Chains A and B, each alone.
Chain A
Amino acid sequence: MPASGARIMALSSFTVANYRSFLRPTTIELRPLTLLFGYNNSGKSALLRALPLLADSVGTPRGAPLNLDSSAVRGASFRDLCCQLSPRRLIDFALAWDGLEVTRHYQLSVLELPGPQAEVLPPVVSEFGTEQSPPWGTPTSLWGTWLPKHEFQTTGQALYDVHLDEKNIESYPLAFRGISPEAVVGERTVSISLRDALRELVWQLEHLRDDVHWLGAVRRVPHRSKEFRGSAPPKLLEDGTGALEVLVQDKLRGGSLLTTVSAWFEKHTRQRLDVTEVAPRYYALTLGPLASPGVRVNVIDTGEGMAQVLPVLVLGAQARQEGAHDTLITLEQPELHLHPALHAPLADFFCDIAMRPKPPRALIETHSENFLQGLQLAIVQGRLDPARVGVYWVQQLDDGSSTVDLITFDDKGLPSRWPPGVFAEDTELARRILKERRAKEGR
């Protein structure tokens, strides 16, 4: 493990520029609970999916440096990811981590240049930089700028003009494995400090790959039953696949995760969740009324909302149970298909996670007013520290570019600002109906 103790560092913010509709640099500060609100097509999902994209781009993906096979881009090309409001084929990303008195920053620009015959060449990292401020000693920094004339197309290596701690150590061959810069073995003797700086960064990025969990808005219902072959997948897929296996494995190991997930169903739906062995090694997830323990219904035969929220709860419970400060869960519309009455209880579930001593971080895209009000209630009741939650209003401007505005809360749950009219749509419609009715009645 690197001396900095990077393992305990959690992603604290990320920045994108010229990415999708985010023409200008846009930074999201990640609190234990961070919500993205906005109208349709404002850019919320694009913003949220930047994280799984970057996490999937650590290592050796095809089409480096960005893994365009990642499901977070839905088959988009690099050009599709670039903001169309700019002619530049360049995307800037920045990531910041914080830990116990340590901060790390990594930024990179991914560039696509046309080839000599105007053909599309694979994008490259045109610039990168990393800085680390350790609790002791001096901060270290490493910056590199691509030297295009020295690219070795066949090997994926390229020469970079490298500065380490502000000292230019001249051009140096580097190979990017995804977004991770690595020294080329055998090319030249690597200075120890450069090797260490690269190693620490790569090590941090590898944790990013493991630490970011993503659940999309469109989730599959679990299998009716599934054979359990001894181990669950390390991560749920973005459509929730794997939730059944995770719960089966958990039950076989004592069931603490299952207890947490079931507790939510029990409290708010009066149903208990269980893993039932339907045949040797074949398991199903079942729900049954607390009042009638003999009745068990397969989850996929219950209301759609129950099956849809299940992976959300599993992912939240995993993050809660692991107590891993560096875990980041990114969720798209966790409330989908749930009755509005259950949105606030779902918010409570995440408030509870956010208030743990070293909480994981959750980035949640939602359209739910009740979810928001659930947070406000938790704040005013003292169950959620307002400093642990932030809301971003994502909006698209007239020119098609998107921006974000951070909304914070005071200890009475009052937001620092709120976009006028948002969540007042129903009363606004009712107001119009009543006015029309009044005009018709001649009042």
Chain B
Amino acid sequence: MRVVIEAPLLVSAQLAKHPLALLELFNLCLDQECHTLEIEPPEAPALKLWTDTLTPAQRDEIDLILDASVERQLRDPPMSVVRVADVEDAEWEGTVPRLPLRGAIALLRKPLRVLIEGINDEAFLHATVPHFYRARFEDWSKRELLKVEHRGGLQNLHHALEQECQVRERRLRLFVLFDSDARKRGEPHPESRKVARFCERKTLTHHQLQRRAIDNYVPPPALERWLKRNHSREFDGKWLPRLQSFRLLTEEQRHHYNMKRGLRGDREGSGLADIFARFIDEKPDQAALLEEGFSPAVAESFQERIPDAWLAQDGQTPELMQLFEKLLRAA
């Protein structure tokens, strides 16, 4: 989070009342590298007045945090911004909230909560984080600067978001990841659209998966690895032909295939998308093998890291880069 301290705060009664609070804010930013901190205006005389009251060691820390923050502003600035001001209560008018010192500290102490639908979504994030962002994502997860929370399916997620957004501070520490449930390219399910619209309305940082669900992000080699491991006896007879048929699907079909329950699952549910009609007509034998999916547990494939090369071959890298870019900048 980008924290902008308004210079008048440095000589305010609020600071006089809580003399250690500002140091606490700086300490938080020293410990939690996800935040940046700056004084506005940067050369305000009030800054010198305040730092003159500190020990040399404390001044070193302040300088470091301000320098490191400038560097991050140049290259990967955090997306959400709060201002810390000489105000009694939080002011929410405008695009950037103005918080009192104690309010800002309380907010920054909170991790970024990553709301997801199911438990496998967390494994999905850890298994697919691109090399580019992996070190930071793993480090921040380990230090609980990011905290993943499951909220069940899309409907539950929507209800949960409505609850969360009743507390305005919470909105600033939320990231939402959800399936599109799309049956064909570019046509997310109405429930998913509803969540996306809600996030946009409330300016929540979010990512709606382009493919149908996380299952559709299991690259074929990872699927094969998982099937071999979990169904070794039946692999050659049952799963390999199914996997081979799956590989015959077009990219759009693979990205929107019901991985859990197959073509039949859709047919018996809300209906089979027309993108499969040609495949079924032209390759009925292969299509028959895809009537059943790869089991409801297919997302367990994400329990093991997916090599970057497999993600790249499957064409996922651009979307994953975008997802993690948003997620880490939201922290």
Q: Which residues of A contact B (CB under 8 A)?
A: 23-24, 373, 376, 393, 395, 397-399, 401, 403, 405, 413-415, 417-424, 427, 430-431, 434-435, 437-438, 441, 443
B297 adjacent to chain A (CB < 8 Å): no
Q: Which A residue's beta carbon lies closest to that of B61?
A: A434
Check A420 against B76 for contact (C-beta < 8 Å).
Answer: yes
Check A397/B309 contact, CB under 8 A, given A415-B75, A431-B30: yes
Q: Which B residue's beta carbon lies closest to that of A369?
A: B71
Given the complex of chains A and B, what is the CA–CA distance between A423 and B67 in angstroms? 12
Picked from A24, A424, A435, A438, the residue with its CB within 8 Å of the CB of B72 is A424
Check B132 against A419 for contact (C-beta < 8 Å).
Answer: yes
Check B57 against A414 for contact (C-beta < 8 Å).
Answer: no
* Number of chain B interface residues as a range: 20 to 34
Q: Which B residue's beta carbon lies closest to that of A376?
A: B74
Check B57 against A441 for contact (C-beta < 8 Å).
Answer: yes
B170 adjacent to chain A (CB < 8 Å): no
B24 adjacent to chain A (CB < 8 Å): no
Check B136 against A420 for contact (C-beta < 8 Å).
Answer: yes
Chain A residues near B325 (CB, 8 Å)?
417
Q: Which B residue's beta carbon lies closest to that of A418?
A: B75
Picked from B33, B57, B131, B321, the residue with its CB within 8 Å of the CB of A395 is B131
B328 adjacent to chain A (CB < 8 Å): yes
- Within B65-124, the residues touching A (CB, 8 Å) are 67-68, 71-72, 74-77
Check A424/B68 contact, CB under 8 A, given A403-B308, A415-B75, A419-B132: yes
The smallest beta-carbon distance between B319 and chain A, in angstroms, is 13
The smallest beta-carbon distance between B70 and chain A, in angstroms, is 10
Picked from A376, A395, A398, A413, the residue with its CB within 8 Å of the CB of B307 is A398
Check B321 against A424 for contact (C-beta < 8 Å).
Answer: no
Check B133 against A420 for contact (C-beta < 8 Å).
Answer: yes
Check B30 against A420 for contact (C-beta < 8 Å).
Answer: no
Listed from nearest, the 7 A-B pairs whose CB atoms lie closest are A420-B136, A418-B75, A427-B68, A418-B76, A397-B308, A430-B64, A397-B131
Chain A residues near B71 (CB, 8 Å)?
423-424, 427
- Within B46-66, the residues touching A (CB, 8 Å) are 57, 60-61, 64
- Within B294-331, the residues touching A (CB, 8 Å) are 307-309, 312-313, 321, 325, 328
The smallest beta-carbon distance between A204 and chain B, in angstroms, is 31
Chain A residues near B328 (CB, 8 Å)?
420
Q: Can you sample 27 A-B contacts with CB below 8 Å?
A: A23-B309, A24-B312, A376-B74, A393-B132, A395-B131, A397-B308, A397-B309, A398-B308, A399-B308, A403-B131, A403-B312, A405-B132, A413-B74, A414-B77, A415-B76, A417-B76, A417-B321, A420-B328, A422-B75, A423-B75, A424-B72, A427-B71, A430-B68, A431-B33, A437-B57, A438-B61, A441-B57
Q: Which B residue's beta carbon lies closest to that of A416?
A: B325
Given the complex of chains A and B, what is the CA–CA distance between A419 and B312 in angstroms? 18
Picked from B33, B68, B309, B313, the residue with its CB within 8 Å of the CB of A399 is B309
B160 adjacent to chain A (CB < 8 Å): no
Chain A residues near B133 (CB, 8 Å)?
420
Check B30 against A435 for contact (C-beta < 8 Å).
Answer: yes
Chain A residues near B131 (CB, 8 Å)?
395, 397-398, 403
The smallest beta-carbon distance between B125 and chain A, in angstroms, is 16
Chain B residues near A401 (CB, 8 Å)?
309
Chain B residues near A415 (CB, 8 Å)?
75-76
Given the complex of chains A and B, what is the CA–CA distance between A437 and B133 in angstroms? 29
Given the complex of chains A and B, what is the CA–CA distance between A373 and B313 in angstroms? 34
Given the complex of chains A and B, what is the CA–CA distance between A401 and B312 in angstroms? 12
Check A399/B76 contact, CB under 8 A, given A431-B64, A431-B68: no
Q: Which B residue's beta carbon lies closest to that of A401?
A: B309
